[in-house]
Amino acid sequence: MVQRYELTGEERDAIVRGDIGLIYVLGANGQLLMHFAAFLGMPWPGYIQAMRDGIVKHGPVRAGIYAMTTAVDDKVAGI
Amino acid sequence: MSLVFAGICSHAPGITGRADMAAAQLREPLYAAFRGMQQQLEAARPDALIIIAAEHFANFFMNNMPSFAIGMSDQYQGPIEDPNWLRIARTAVPGDAQLSRQLIQEIMQTVDVAYAEEWKFDHGIMVPLHFLTPRFDIPVVPVNINCQGPPLAPLHRAWAFGEAIRRAVDSLPQRIALVGTGGISHWPATPDSGRINEAWDRDFLARWSRNDRDAMLSYSDRDTYRDAGQGGFEIRTFISVAAAARGKGELQHYAPIPIFAVGCTVATMDIAA
């Protein structure tokens, strides 16, 4: 399915692996990404943590229009 | 007749989808406020409900993103999301294509709008309807303001849109209710999810409650993003309601609930001439 879209190798691999953290860093909008995470069976706390882990592992958001605004160890999600 | 009810409320998907993750002492007062709003809405005996929401790439995507869109169908469906995720069963929601057409024609006298004869509601509409019209027995006219993908309509255009809605409603014999849905400050579906700027929220709600047009329109998108996150852009729906109602607002409920990712809000506004 991913072959149908114009993606970089990094983007394609992240989608195939279900690497939510990297997909977020690459610039995916969370309003869409949260549904991909749910599709993968990831509960809400895991989804939030995966994005935070992605920032730690891959660095700040590289593209898109919204960047993370809290520190990686801030506990803001109520979980 | 004319506009018979005006209000605003939150629409965050966590309100239903993650209900069990919130402490009951936070969740239940919100639900009670929604029930109170439902009762006020029913007491107004509306023939139809215009619901102004800020949807999230479900029907309008970056390949074709209208600033303002209005549904024009006799029936809609929702939620478009997985019902198990949102915990709202998929259902048909009645519309009124003729009413929509009349509203759109009048609104277009001053504001250019897109229309949609097909629309699958996301949580921005389904969560409020779940509480406010739980039997889905009031025809709905869905309205969307792009609050997701900049460039966004300036706030003064959201105000003008609300004025146009009021003018259109007043030209019709039906009893029409109006509800705006959205967040105030929030960073939904991001690593910052749960961050809520309560002081910013309460200041905005004070401006909204006194229907202070100049104060509501004084925000820049840059400042809103800095202080209230991308979710803060949804103040456009609340501003449109204020422009349409023209009265003073009454805040029924406000409480930050991080697991719902928003300062949960329920408020109504008097209808002024």
What are the residue boundaries of the structural domains of chain A, listed by start?
A: 2-58
Taking only the tens place, the pLDDT of each residue in B5-23 is 999 999 999 999 999 999 9
pLDDT recorded at residue A66: 79
pLDDT at A77 over 80: no
pLDDT recorded at residue A14: 98
B162 contacts B240 by C-beta, under 8 angstroms: yes
What mean pLDDT is predicted for residues B242-265?
97
Search chain B and give the residue with CA nearest A71.
B192
ipTM of the complex model = 0.89
DSSP string, B84-95: HHHT---EEEE-
**Shortest Cα–Cα distance, A9 to chain B (Å):** 23
CB contact (8 A) between residue A31 and residue B56: yes
Interior CA angle at B51 toward B84 and B25, to 5°? 55
SS3 for chain A, per residue? CHHHCCCCHHHHHHHHHCCHHHHHHCCCCHHHHHHHHHHCCCCHHHHHHHHHHHHHHHCCCCCCCCCCCCCCCCCCCCC
**Shortest Cα–Cα distance, A15 to chain B (Å):** 18
- Mean pLDDT check: name the lowest of A52-56, A69-73, B194-198: A69-73
State the CATH number of the domain containing residue B117: 3.40.830.10
Phi/psi of residue B56, nearest 5 degrees: -125, 65
Taking only the tens place, the pLDDT of each residue in B157-215 is 999 999 999 999 999 999 999 999 998 999 999 999 999 999 999 999 999 999 999 99
Residue entry with tokens 């309560």: B198
What mean pLDDT is predicted for residues B114-137?
98
Query: Chain B contact for A32, CB < 8 A?
Result: yes
pLDDT at A70 over 80: no
pLDDT recorded at residue B234: 98
B232 contacts B261 by C-beta, under 8 angstroms: no
pLDDT recorded at residue B251: 98
pLDDT recorded at residue B81: 96
pLDDT at A67 over 90: no
Alpha carbon distance B52, B238 (integer Å)? 8
Alpha carbon distance B86, B144 (integer Å)? 20
Q: Is the peptide bond before B151 cis (omega within 30 degrees of 0)?
A: yes
B232 contact partners, CB below 8 Å, separation of at least 6: B183, B184, B185, B186, B200, B224, B225
The token pair that represents B70 in the structure block:
């209005």
Q: Of B76, B151, B153, B154, nearest to B117 (Cα)?
A: B76
Which residue range is the domain that position B257 belongs to?
A: 3-271
Task: Locate the DSSP E strands across chain B.
Answer: 3-9, 48-53, 68-71, 75-78, 91-94, 114-116, 140-145, 176-181, 246-257, 262-271
Residues 150-179 of B with CB under 8 A from A: 150
The token pair that represents A54 in the structure block:
């992605």
pLDDT at A78 over 70: no
Alpha carbon distance B54, B60 (integer Å)? 10
pLDDT at A79 over 70: no
Q: What is the pTM (predicted TM-score) of this model?
A: 0.96
The token pair that represents B24 in the structure block:
């009951």
Identity of the residue in B22, B57, B193 whose CB atom sits nearest the CB atom of A48: B193
User: pLDDT over 90 for what percent of chain B?
Assistant: 98
What mean pLDDT is predicted for residues A24-50?
95
B135 contact partners, CB below 8 Å, separation of at least 6: none
Residue entry with tokens 């200041």: B203
Taking only the tens place, the pLDDT of each residue in B33-80 is 999 999 999 999 999 999 999 999 999 998 999 999 999 999 999 999
CB contact (8 A) between residue A55 and residue B191: yes
